[in-house]
Structures are given as structure tokens and as C-alpha cells.
Structure 1
Amino acid sequence: MNRRSLAMLAVKLCVVAGAFILLAAHVDIGDALAHLLDLEPAYALATAVLVLLTHWTNAAKLALLLPERSVRALFAATLATQAYTLLLPGQIAGEAVKAFRLGRGRALEAGRIVSSVMFDKMTGVAAGLLVTLGGLASKPGLFGSQFAWLAGGGLVALVLLTAGLSWEPACTALVRLLKGHPVKGHPARRAGWGRWIGERLDRFLDTWRGHAKAPRLIALSLLYGVTAQALAVASSMTLALGLGIDIGYAAWCVVIGALTVILLAPVTIGGLGLRELSLVGMLGLMGVSHDQALALALVILAFQLAVAAVGLLVDLLIPPDPVPDAR
């Protein structure tokens, strides 16, 4: 690990420590831990089922973009991703590991696989924002119009990103430049590493354009994404009900949607501290006591650690399926 990586790790640990110091200053940790005993086993079991259904739905969603892969294999990759999402800085790093795992042993297909995994993540975030907007529409006074504008702006940004990566003239010029081919204003040159990058980027952009120009595929991906987000919301709500927190499904759509976007920021290790602080703050706005909110955050963390442990075992003990030919 180089100095820069060590410095980043130190910063993240400081952010985690700062978040928990801030929580300790405003929350009775003893009362929060005592609330953990209120969770009935039936609620925990129901949550476990919903969490597995969420990940299975996400695997089926990715199978739309990688049809040569079985849902079972993608489910294993999705579980493995949960482990690396906690171990590495943020969800994006976890998705990178998923792409690497799926592309293991097939370097020439790396661009197509990375593109599909990124497109899948993008539609997943878009689906989460749609569910969030649905919750805000049901409870317009929940967080105010500013939050709706933020969610809507996020959707617009995703559409612009998709369109930008699908704009063929600019993408073709960039790939040709990297490969060393002559482009207007730039003579031909030795490509070196640029050729290697350009070949994979060409495959990445070609796959992205194919996905972006398939309205039925996008609609199905969003449908699966909305279903997965709805299941994720239901799992958090079930845990909350088990701890005596009842704010309604629509409110949970907003809270989980906001939390999903917040945890995209790689500012802590596995979202530790940021998750707990965000939940205590958002639930506090809806009249939930800080100790109850922290208890819920800790139970959610425990479930994520359990899924991550299973994912790590899957990654270490179960080899990926043999890589079939791409369709």
C-alpha cells in the first residue's frame, strides 16, 4: 500500500471516528443497545428473506444485460460484491470487483462486461430515484420540494450521462485518437498503451450504445430496479417495525433512496458512520428518537455484515461459472 492509499485510509478512519464521536455526543448509546433486544426473531427472519430476494432480483436485472450468464452465477457475484463494498471505499469499488469477477479469464470481453455492470448500476440508481420520487409524491411535505428537485436533477444527470456516452462521433474520435489513428487536428502516432485502452474503450462504448438504444431493455431494467428498491425498502421497514419504528412505507422510500445516494460517496470505509449519522438525522426529522434510530442503523449494519460474510465465502470457495461465448 503506497503513501497515498495510506493517507486516504487515514482520512476515512478519521471521518468514521468523527461520525461516531458526534453520535455519542447526541445519542445515549446504552439506550440504543438496549433497543436491540426489542427486535423479535420473526422480523429478523422476514428481513433476511427480503434481503435475499432483493439481491436475487438485482442478479436477474444484470442478466438482462449479460444474457450469457446464469442468474445463479450473477447472484453469487452480487453477494460477493456486498463483501467488497464494505471492505473497499464505496459501492463503486464493489461494482468494479463484480466486473473483474465476471470478466476473469476473458480479457477481450472486459470492456463489454464493465460497460454492462456500469449500465446496470446506472439504471439501479435511476430506479432508486424513481421510487424516492414516488415516496415524495405520496408525502409531499416530508422533506420539502428541494429534495424532489434534487432527485429529479439526479435523474436528468443520468439521462445526460447515458446520452453523452452514446454520442457516436465524439466517442469514435476519442477511440481513434487513443489507438493512434489520425483524427482532425491530431496526426497519426504510435499508440502504445493508448491502443490497449482504446480497444477496450471501443468495446465499452459499443456495448453502452447497444444498451442505450434498446428501449425495451431499459424499461425492463428499470422495472427490475424498481422491484429491487421496493424490496430493499420493505426489508428496512420490517426491521424498523420490529424495533417499534413506524413511519409508513412512503417515508421509507424517501429515507432509503436518500441513504442509497449518500452511501455512493466513498468518504468512509463501507459507509460506516455515514450510514448511522444519516439515519439518525433523517429519522429524527420524523419524530423517531435518536436511540431508536441508532439501534436500527446498527441492526442494518449487522445484516450487511452478515451478507458480506456470505459473499466473501462465495468469492473464496465457489469459483465463477466457466465463461461462455458472448451472444
Structure 2
Amino acid sequence: MAYAVKLLISGALLAFLLHRFDVADAARQLALVNPWHALAAATLYASFHVVNAAKLQLVIPGRRVRSILAFVLVAQAYSLLLPGQLAGEAVKAYRLARGSGEGGRVVSSVAFDKMTSLVALLLTTLGGLLVEAHRFGNTLFVALVAGLVLIAFSSALLALTPVRRLTGSFLSGDGWRGRFGGPINLFLDTWTRHVARPQTMALSLAYGLAAQLIQALATQILGAGLGIELSFALWCVIIGALTVLLLAPVTIGGLGLREASLVGMLGLFAVTSDRALAVALAILAFQLLITVVGLAVDLLVLRNH
């Protein structure tokens, strides 16, 4: 039922966009994009996933980057087919952990990787916000700082010895608690090991920042091909805000929410609705391409994994 509701929300948002805006005009705008702009943007969007695979390999060193890239592409495919981006992360953690015998360790590493990605996202958004401070009030700035503080606090809390001891004492013995105790304790031990390694955390953050900057640059180049002249700092804020919005599992793969949000945000900077919608359609087209590639990898490459 929940899936049906989210599908209905996506449908309602798409119906609103079709009624409110000229989608055909947006498609015509998209068709006029300089091929070099489109090629450069597509290359950068693809590089974004490669960098994320290299980032995840830092905390799962037993696997090659190309092997992890396959799971990253599969996760991206399912993030478009399932409600919310976090669903894709769950698929990635499950597929990487399956058959490894160390499910708690792999899941913890994927969660740690996602945590540093969120920190990198908030930092790039905050950087863009500071550069373009005259365009924004204090509310977004306070929200970003609060998000960073909350993530730092939660990460430190999971690594505290009393928390691990309390969890270990509760999840012990026979029955369901004993069955869950092993994987959860392994999750916490692995998390503590990652947090206790400043070099690993710094490298993970560096990769995360690079990935976010690549994504913002790709969208800026795509926007420039459509005649949208916004600063790189503004694109960092827009892509950061959009990514946070898409974390909410209220639609299927962000369908409808992505397009409506981009039209609304770009409209604040005097970007016409047809060009804003063209950007959203281009991003959706690339994600559909990644979905096709991810599903092909899942069926042909990872069929035994």
C-alpha cells in the first residue's frame, strides 16, 4: 500500500507539471542544447559514480573499485525504482553483504560511507551558501549547521564504549535478541574502527566533496547549454537542497518531486520554467540511462552475487 501511495504522489506531481507547464517546450529547449555541453555533463555525471565507488572502496578494501562500481550502479537503478534514495543504499548494502559472512561489517561500512557523503553534501551546500550569502537568509545556514552537528553527534555516539556495552548486554542470550546481537555488535565495532581512523575519514570526506563538486559542475555545464547563467556556488546550493529533498521517501525515485523542486528553486533566480524543466528532464534522462545500465549489470554481471 505504501508503494501505491508514493506512486500516486509521483503521478499527481507529474500531472501538475503537465497541466501547469509546457513540457513540449521544455523538450524543445533540451533538443537545442549544444552537444558538447551535453557530452561534458554526461561524462561528469558518470564520473560522479566512479568517484563514489572509489570512496566506498576506502572502507571495503577487500574489493576492487570496478567491482564496487557495479554495485553502485545497481543501487542507483533501484533508487529510481524504489521510494527514496535510501532504498538504493539499502539494496547496495544488502547485495555487498550477501554471502560475505560479515553482514554487520559491510552494512556498517556502507552506512559510514553514506554518512561522510551527507557531510560532504552539507559542506558543499554550506560553502555555496556562504559565497552567495546576499541571496539567502539565515534559516538555511542554521539548518545546514544543525545538520552537521547532528551527524557528528550521532557518529560519535555510535562509537562510544558505553553504547556498545549497553547494546551488547541487551542483545545477548537466546531468542531474537541473540540472533540480532552478533551483526549489530559487528556493525558498532566496525563503525568505531572507521571513526577512529582520521586518515580514512579525511579521505572519505575528500572523495565525497569531489563527487558533490563534480555533480554541481555537471549541472552548471548542462544549464549553460540551455542558456542558464548561474554561478557555480548557486548550483552547489541548488543541487545540495535537491539531494536532501530527494532523500524523503515520498515518491518513487523522486519522480515528480525532482522536477517540481527544480522548477521552483530555479524560478527564484529568474530562470524560466521551460528551461528549468529542461534541466530536470535532462537529469532524469541520465538517471534513466544509469537505471538501464544498472539493471543490465545486475542481470548480466552480478547474477550470481
Question: Above 0.5 in TM-score?
Answer: yes
Partner Cα distance (1:320, 1:95) in 2: 19
Report the CA distance between 1:25 and its aligned residue: 4.2
Query: In the alignment, what sits opposite 2:145?
Result: 152
Query: In the alignment, what sits opposite 2:112?
Result: 119
What does 1:255-274 align with in structure 2 at a 5 Å threshold? 255-274=238-257
Work out whether residues 80 and 312 of structure 1, in 8 Å CA contact, stay in contact via their aligned partners in 2.
Answer: yes
Query: In the alignment, what sits opposite 2:52?
Result: 58
Work out whether residues 75 and 88 of structure 2, in 8 Å CA contact, stay in contact via their aligned partners in 1.
Answer: yes
Query: In the alignment, what sits opposite 1:74?
Result: 68
**1:187-225 deviations in Å (ceiling 9; x for gaps):** xxxx21211110000100000011111111111111110
Which of 146, 155, 167 is the equivalent residue of 1:174?
Answer: 167
Matched, 1:248 2:247: no
Report the CA distance between 1:40 and its aligned residue: 2.1
Which of 229, 235, 255 is the equivalent residue of 2:212?
Answer: 229
Query: In the alignment, what sits opposite 1:300?
Result: 283
User: Highest Rg: 1 or 2?
Assistant: 1
Which of 154, 178, 198 is the equivalent residue of 1:161?
Answer: 154
Bigger drift between 16-25 and 130-139 goes to 16-25
**1:27-46 deviations in Å (ceiling 9; x for gaps):** 22232222122112211211
Q: Secondary structure, in 3 states, of the residue corresponding to 1:268?
A: coil
Report the CA distance between 1:317 and its aligned residue: 0.7
List gaps (5 residues or longer) in structure 1: 1-6, 181-190, 323-327
Matched residues, number: 305
Which of 241, 247, 268 is the equivalent residue of 1:285?
Answer: 268
TM-score under structure 2 length normalisation: 0.96
Query: In the alignment, what sits opposite 1:183?
Result: none
CA RMSD in angstroms, aligned pairs only: 1.5
Report the CA distance between 1:300 and its aligned residue: 0.5
Which of 30, 33, 41 is the equivalent residue of 2:27?
Answer: 33
Work out whether residues 167 and 185 of structure 2, in 8 Å CA contact, stay in contact via their aligned partners in 1.
Answer: no
Amino acid at match of 1:85: S
Percentage of pairs with the same residue? 50
Which of 82, 90, 95 is the equivalent residue of 1:96?
Answer: 90
Query: In the alignment, what sits opposite 2:99?
Result: 105
Which of 287, 292, 309 is the equivalent residue of 2:292?
Answer: 309
Partner Cα distance (1:56, 1:321) in 2: 23
Partner Cα distance (2:99, 2:181) in 1: 20
TM-score under structure 1 length normalisation: 0.90
Bigger drift between 299-308 and 168-177 goes to 168-177
Report the CA distance between 1:321 and its aligned residue: 9.7
**1:129-177 deviations in Å (ceiling 9; x for gaps):** 1001110111102232211111111111110110121122122222221
Report the CA distance between 1:320 and its aligned residue: 8.0
List gaps (5 residues or longer) in structure 2: none
Partner Cα distance (1:152, 1:177) in 2: 34
Partner Cα distance (2:69, 2:80) in 1: 18
Work out whether residues 117 and 208 of structure 2, in 8 Å CA contact, stay in contact via their aligned partners in 1.
Answer: yes
Q: Secondary structure, in 3 states, of the residue corresponding to 1:271?
A: coil
